[in-house]
Chain A
């Protein structure tokens, strides 16, 4: 799309062939002897220790799950445990070079990675840093527990801290790393650079890319490692993450310090199985997972298969790959071959593999082999290694005893504080900027052409005589959005916006017109057409501390990022125990005129998911005020916009949309027209049809309708609606969402529950039909119109003298439709 890039037909039509660089497979070929120059004895031993630590940790949990007992300590852990016994060398090798600034993301099978990365980071931190880290986490709660009776140095205390915090989290204790809200599959610990592990297979495949984007855009040190399983390589979001991470623009369009590839390594923890499906030979066709790199970019992602059964091979690979990242040659793909002896989970009977196969791998066990090699090379003795093992067993007993002690490690007390989890769903903070540093912009705001154009517009739609100004003259809803967004770009240096056709084009609906001029590439860019990565990366970006506006061009495309919107974005604030903030404002445009796959209002689907704020303004004043609020907050917001009304002027605030900054609190509905006989509650663009209906009700039937614009639906304050009902006693609810299961139904139920005594008739919902959206010319039969509202009032709430209905709101018809599911 950028004009600077010329697509020359002569060039692109030339014949030729694509050549791939070789992808190395298991080429590490060094002995301990060879590696003595690279590792001290301490380092050799630390590698052994960390692997053994993981082995004992996982073994302990396995025994607890299977026998309910470990070393004489009894415990019942009903929750999940996806263990990685056998994979220790892969985890330790991956983590060896990583420091606290390097972030790892993982999967449901990531206990080992937490411990490996944690130990690696600890080894590189000073005692002071360690002390601060532990002291500052949850007010030193965990530190207090583990320092009790501790004898030894800061690093060994930190080791206790790491093991206890992880175990307490797995056992859902409030003293765990995420207050027990993450659990085994989602445990993580950001102070040591361990970012969320994801129970959705491949979930980290795009989120981690967002973290790398954060590092790049905000010029932060460190790299990002996405630990994903071999079986996740079929997941769409993983591919979308790969595509996003390897965009040409990083190299070709981004400038200065921002030029170059993303600092990310996709680390396939290739244990060769999904749950039971064998990726090589059964469920995939790549043979060797590293082959995937060849299809992604010119560098084949510098892909390589590494023998993950040898920790030194993995360490070697990381050393080389981190050099590439330093040279901005990311993204990297590593296929780290490994094997798990443990089942997918303790209930796994291993029906999909033979005993012989497991034994063959056990005979080459990574820890035993490595230990033998060390002994053989004279670096250590078996006795020394046994002592390490014995010490680890003691540590495990210690952590276990403590983590299951109800007094030391209680669970969240929901008896005493019943709303503890509720209070964590949103962070509800008001933050001007996520980081205090100068913003990168191309020119002062007042020089921006769009800003100058808006300055000439009429901020109230009507002149002194009540005559509307021409559409071009009117300050439109899209201008309100723009003003709020551009304002934030000049305030918050971390703010980035991207999506499909955001740059140059200015967004498909011209909200961003003028932003291209104002912002450098790294703050506003075009993403691939891959909604999962658009939202997934935004989640990663926000997790690391940035603010972001991803755009979904049509609401209908939300399905393409279903996991990101439903499982990731809403969950991580609470699942982290509120360690993580999620300032992501997804702009979602609701279409019309474009048929079944471009005209749906899915606000209800989003509202159903706990953890998302949802708003749907219908006026320029509300759009600007709500966008300001969304961008000032720290919570994920799904910001709905209707394409029917991007060009609508401000018809309600006579003094015009303020030029200065203002916020409209989420959850407060707004009375757009006062009345006393019936209340019409609208979500989104239907408010204008509701107002037309109110006019007709008044003029033809002498009925005075109060029109309330919900403006936002999560949160939502019912009090103004109840107040209205005290006057009117009747309510009709309308929106463009199809009627079955729409949020209006939820509202109708709440209203019935809260204001039953005020109601003279049941609340009636007028949504669109439970059909496909037909062509524009037939939309009047699909979307609720003014006459639908009046008909429904006449048929279901109160008869209007002389009214002849056009639409079918009879009970029999409703029952018929119900029977047919339409």
Chain B
């Protein structure tokens, strides 16, 4: 009898397993593929590995701005891919080692939930018939293939995040359907390597959910680098490697060596006996409350399978909420301080409310923004580069509501803002925090002080950055 069975070894499942193991619970973790889930195997980690290769290549090519001349710069696509494989393997191995260290039993097999009895929840695997007091479902998500004529299962031409990571050669041209985070990161990578990249986005801006002003700035930067953007464009048909889309009633045809479909992801709720529990679904995901409880007693869900906030770090935290409550520590999931990062070059990172979201929710806020150039270190390291930092605070108390940054290395700086929001810090308190100098992160502090420059107008300073 296990205290906790976890189905799915991604960042929701394996982190929960590790935390539960640490607390002395008897845990079994069932993963049909490799530990680490989409994140480690076909998501965050492999893409960041590749993007770093691309960044080094970019720097080598553009080194002359900094007085470094490189001759005959070239890249080896195969080597990039094999290094990525090595990194993944190492990290997956690391997860396995952690599981052992914390006495988590791991089973590499497809789990099948048989049902819930007075004894507990019964799960079948080829290795063991499991009975567990509690079940945490972390089966994640998979790429969503929209019902567009001609757009079938992934193959030679049609790719998802999974297949594109297995390419042997750099394609000459790539059409990306869906300009979200996944689409933009692959666009950035292949753009660096010289692939002709075209993005077709249904909405009127890329990177839905991020700060719109920064998304537009990034799009303009990439347009300069040669990526073609088609916004407000709806793909109507795919024939071979030709994509037809409609914009303003006008049809356009595009072709690419490869077509990446990155319009979104859908929760994985079938194939493991979920139906035998009577778990309630909502918009395709498992419906949960703020303790990640489903409608079935002792059954929890965390991560992408819930269908919202599809981020590895969300999943991990959700898993921790489950474990904390099981161990008698009251804990509730909060989504107001979940950071989001786009690992393009430059990066965008944000946490909390965007201006768009605040307006939509009718929350009274004040905003301040400064160009990244206000941080000396940024000037030093980003020749000719630009960026922006934006801070939103509550109109009444000055509590931090949201922080958004465009510019490197915002992915590494945003956690400071996460802490400010989680700890409900106000402007006054932030002003008293000492930042190291010189760092790019000082832009956060500078923007905070910029509120002092705002007088009567609730809505901002308006230093225009283009």
Contact = CB atoms under 8 A, between A and B. Distances in A.
B42 interface: no
Interface string B120-145: 10000000000001100000000000
A810 B120 contact: no
Contacts of A452: none
A799 B293 contact: no
Given A799-B328, A801-B328, A804-B133, A810 B3 contact: no
B328 A802 contact: yes
B423 interface: no
B297 A812 contact: no
Contact of B3 (A701, A795, A799, A802): A802
B276 to A, nearest CB: 16
Contacts of B289: 810-812
A795 B280 contact: no
Nearest to A817: B295
Contacts of B296: 808, 810, 813
Contacts of A805: 297-298
A798 interface: yes
Interface in A770-817: 791, 795, 798-802, 804-813, 816
Contact of A812 (B120, B287, B331): B287
A816 B278 CA distance: 12
B214 to A, nearest CB: 36
Contacts of B120: 804
A379 B24 CA distance: 109
Contacts of B297: 791, 795, 805-810, 813
Contact of B293 (A791, A804, A811): A811
B280 A812 contact: yes
Given A806-B118, A812-B289, A799 B298 contact: no
A806 to B, nearest CB: 7
Contact of A810 (B118, B134, B294, B328): B294
Nearest to A813: B295
Interface string B276-308: 000010000001110001111110000000000
Contact of B295 (A798, A799, A801, A816): A816
Q: Is the interface of B mostly helix, strand, loop or mixed?
A: loop
A698 B287 CA distance: 33
A488 to B, nearest CB: 49
B330 interface: yes
A807 B331 CA distance: 21
B220 interface: no
B327 interface: yes
B326 interface: yes
Interface residues on B, range: 20 to 34
Q: Is the interface of A mostly helix, strand, loop or mixed?
A: loop
Nearest to B289: A811
Contacts of A807: 297
Interface in A43-102: none
A790 B269 CA distance: 31
Contact of B330 (A701, A791, A798, A812): A798
Contacts of B327: 799, 801-802
A810 B295 contact: yes
Interface string A308-333: 00000000000000000000000000
Interface string B1-12: 001000000000
B325 interface: yes
B351 to A, nearest CB: 27
B280 A804 contact: no
A813 B120 CA distance: 18
A191 B327 CA distance: 72
Contacts of A808: 295-297
Question: Which residue among B118, B293, B297, B326 has the maximum number of chain A CB atoms within 10 Å of its CB?
Answer: B297
Given A810-B289, A810-B296, A816-B295, A799 B330 contact: yes
Contacts of B331: 799
Contacts of B295: 808, 810, 812-813, 816
A512 to B, nearest CB: 43
Nearest to B300: A810
A61 B326 CA distance: 73
Nearest to A800: B328
A701 B295 CA distance: 25
A812 B297 CA distance: 10
Interface string B318-349: 00000011111111000000000000000000
Interface in B380-417: none
Nearest to B120: A804
Nearest to B324: A799
A795 B291 CA distance: 9
A671 B298 CA distance: 33
A457 B271 CA distance: 66
Nearest to B299: A810
A799 B323 CA distance: 11
A716 B296 CA distance: 37
B388 to A, nearest CB: 40
Contacts of A801: 326-328
A667 B325 CA distance: 38
Question: Which residue among A701, A791, A802, A807 has the maximum number of chain B CB atoms within 10 Å of its CB?
Answer: A802
Contacts of B133: 804
B326 A799 contact: yes
Given A795-B293, A811-B289, A812-B293, A804 B328 contact: no
Interface string A421-456: 000000000000000000000000000000000000
A173 to B, nearest CB: 53
Interface string A473-501: 00000000000000000000000000000
Contacts of A799: 324-331
Contacts of A806: 118, 297
A644 B134 CA distance: 35
Nearest to A809: B297
Nearest to A702: B328
B318 to A, nearest CB: 15
Nearest to A797: B330
Contacts of A798: 328, 330
Nearest to A804: B133
Given A804-B120, A804-B133, A804-B134, A812 B328 contact: no
Nearest to A811: B289
A810 B293 contact: yes
Interface in A24-50: none
A820 to B, nearest CB: 12
Nearest to A808: B297
Contacts of B288: 812
Nearest to B290: A811
A798 B291 CA distance: 11
B65 to A, nearest CB: 56
B257 to A, nearest CB: 46
Nearest to B23: A801
A816 B134 contact: no
Contacts of A701: 328
Nearest to B325: A799
Contacts of B324: 799
A800 B294 CA distance: 18
Nearest to A761: B330
B3 A816 contact: no
A806 B298 CA distance: 8
Nearest to B329: A799
A804 to B, nearest CB: 4
- 8 shortest interchain CB distances as A-B pairs: A801-B328, A812-B295, A804-B133, A799-B325, A811-B289, A813-B295, A805-B297, A808-B297
17 contacts: A701-B328, A795-B293, A795-B297, A799-B324, A799-B325, A799-B326, A801-B326, A801-B327, A801-B328, A802-B326, A804-B133, A805-B297, A810-B294, A810-B296, A812-B288, A812-B293, A813-B296
Interface of A: 701, 791, 795, 798-802, 804-813, 816
Given A808-B297, A809-B297, 17 more contacts: A701-B328, A798-B330, A799-B324, A799-B326, A799-B327, A799-B329, A801-B326, A801-B327, A802-B3, A808-B295, A810-B289, A810-B296, A812-B289, A812-B293, A812-B294, A816-B280, A816-B295
